[in-house]
C-alpha cells in the first residue's frame, strides 16, 4: 500500500478534557523508521498525545497526520496501519476471553462481519503468538495471566495484523524489572526484524534501555526531541521534571509530577 506520508506529523496541536488543556502547542515530526519514547512525568500529557495519534481524541487545534492520514477522520484506513496498546490498568480481563480470542480479534477487527476463526486466522494467531513467545498461553483465559503475560498477549493481538506503527501507552508500568527488560527486548526485535515503527510513552528510563531511541521530552508541550543523548541533558530534564536535583554531578529525579499551569 502506497502511503501518502512518511511518518508522524504533529503540528501546533492543542487537546483538552473539558476545559483543561492537557497538551498545548505540541509539534513533533518523526520519519520512519523510528523507535520513539514519549518521556515525561505523570500528568505531562503523554497519554493525551497518544490518544490524539490513534484517533481517540480530536485535537481542538493543530494538524495531525500519521503516514499522511488524519487519525480522527480516517480511522478505518489507519486501523490497518496502527496497533495500539492501552495502559495496562485500563483493560478489563474477563473469565470469558482466552488469549487466542484476543489475538483473533486483533486480526479480525479490521475485516467486515461476520468474523469467524478459520484456518487462515488460526495460522495468523499462532504465528503471532510464536513471535512473542507465548504459544503455550493460547488457551489461557485473560484472568489467568500475569501482568507481563497480559502485556505480551496484547502485543500479539496487535502485531497479528502486521501494523506499520505500534503505539504503546505506558507498557512498562506495573512490570517488574525483568519483565520490563524482556518487553523492551521484544519491542526492539519487532522494530529491527519486522520494521515496525514504535511510539511508547513512559515516565521512566529503565536500566535496560541500552540502545538509543528517539526521545520526545514532554510536559504539556514538547520541550525537546531527537536522539536520546541530545535530549536527555540535565537542563532539559530540569525543565521536564520540576523537582530534579543534582547530587555530586548526578542528575536525580526525585518527584514525578507535571507542572500544573
Partner 1 sequence: MLVLDTIALGGLIAVILGGLTFSSIGYVLTISQTLILAHELLHSLLAASLLGALIESITGFIPMQLTIFLYSMAMSVLVAELVKLKIPRDVVVAIVPSVSAIIAVGSLWGLVRISPLGVSKALSVLWGSVLLITPTDLVYLAAVAVTVMSIIYLFDLELKYISFDPDLAYVSGLNVRAYYYLVYASTSLSLSATIKVFGTVIATALIVLPSVFSLRVARRVNLKIFLALGLLISVPGYLMSILLNIQTSFSIGIISLTVTLIGGALRWSLGR
In the complex, the residues that contact partner 1 under the rule CB under 8 A are: 18, 54-56, 75-76, 79-80, 82, 84-86, 90-97, 101-102, 104-106, 108-110, 113-115, 117, 141-144, 154
How near is the Cβ of 23 to partner 1 at its closest, in Å? 18
Cα separation values, 88 from 77, 81, 130, 139, Å: 26, 22, 22, 21
N residues, the chain = 261
Burial of 235 (0-12, 13-18, 19+ CB in 10 A): exposed
Shortest CB 115 distance to partner 1, Å: 6
C-alpha cell at 116: 469467524
In degrees to the nearest 10, what's the CA dihedral of 222, 223, 226, 227? -130
C-alpha cell, 167: 503505539
CB 163, min distance to partner 1, A:
10
210 burial (CB, 10 Å; 0-12 / 13-18 / 19+) is exposed
Output the smallest distance, CB 79 to partner 1, in A.
Answer: 3
Q: Which is nearer to partner 1, 45 or 88 (CB)?
A: 88
Q: Which is nearer to partner 1, 57 or 223 (CB)?
A: 57
Output 6 or 143, the one with its CB closest to partner 1: 143
Between 41 and 86, whose beta carbon lies closer to partner 1? 86
Which CB sits closer to partner 1, 197 or 232?
197
Kindly state the smallest distance separating residue 4's Cβ from partner 1, in Å. Answer: 19
Amino acid at each position: 500500500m502506497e502511503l501518502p506520508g512518511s511518518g508522524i506529523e504533529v503540528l501546533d496541536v492543542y487537546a483538552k478534557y473539558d476545559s483543561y488543556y492537557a497538551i498545548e502547542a505540541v509539534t513533533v515530526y518523526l520519519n520512519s523508521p523510528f523507535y520513539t519514547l514519549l518521556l515525561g512525568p505523570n500528568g505531562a500529557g503523554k497519554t493525551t498525545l497518544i490518544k490524539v495519534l490513534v484517533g481517540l481524541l480530536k485535537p481542538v487545534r493543530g494538524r495531525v497526520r500519521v503516514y499522511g492520514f488524519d487519525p480522527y477522520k480516517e480511522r478505518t484506513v489507519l486501523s490497518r496501519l496502527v496497533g495500539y496498546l492501552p495502559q495496562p490498568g485500563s483493560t478489563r480481563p474477563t473469565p470469558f476471553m482466552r488469549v487466542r480470542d484476543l489475538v483473533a480479534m486483533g486480526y479480525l477487527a479490521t475485516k467486515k462481519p461476520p468474523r469467524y476463526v478459520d484456518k487462515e486466522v488460526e495460522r495468523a494467531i499462532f504465528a503471532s503468538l510464536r513471535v512473542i513467545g507465548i504459544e503455550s498461553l493460547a488457551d489461557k483465559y485473560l484472568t489467568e495471566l500475569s501482568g507481563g503475560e497480559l502485556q505480551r498477549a496484547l502485543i500479539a493481538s496487535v502485531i497479528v495484523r502486521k501494523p506499520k506503527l505500534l503505539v504503546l501507552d505506558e507498557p512498562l508500568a506495573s512490570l517488574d524489572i525483568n519483565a520490563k527488560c524482556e518487553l523492551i527486548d521484544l519491542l526492539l526485535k519487532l522494530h529491527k526484524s519486522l520494521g515496525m515503527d514504535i511510539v511508547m510513552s513512559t515516565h521512566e528510563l529503565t536500566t535496560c534501555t541500552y540502545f538509543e531511541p528517539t526521545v520526545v521530552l514532554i510536559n504539556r508541550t514538547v520541550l525537546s526531541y531527537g536522539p536520546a543523548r541530545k535530549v536527555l541533558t540535565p537542563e532539559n530534564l530540569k525543565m521536564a521534571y520540576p523537582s530534579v536535583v543534582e547530587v555530586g554531578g548526578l542528575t536525580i529525579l526525585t518527584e514525578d509530577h507535571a507542572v500544573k499551569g
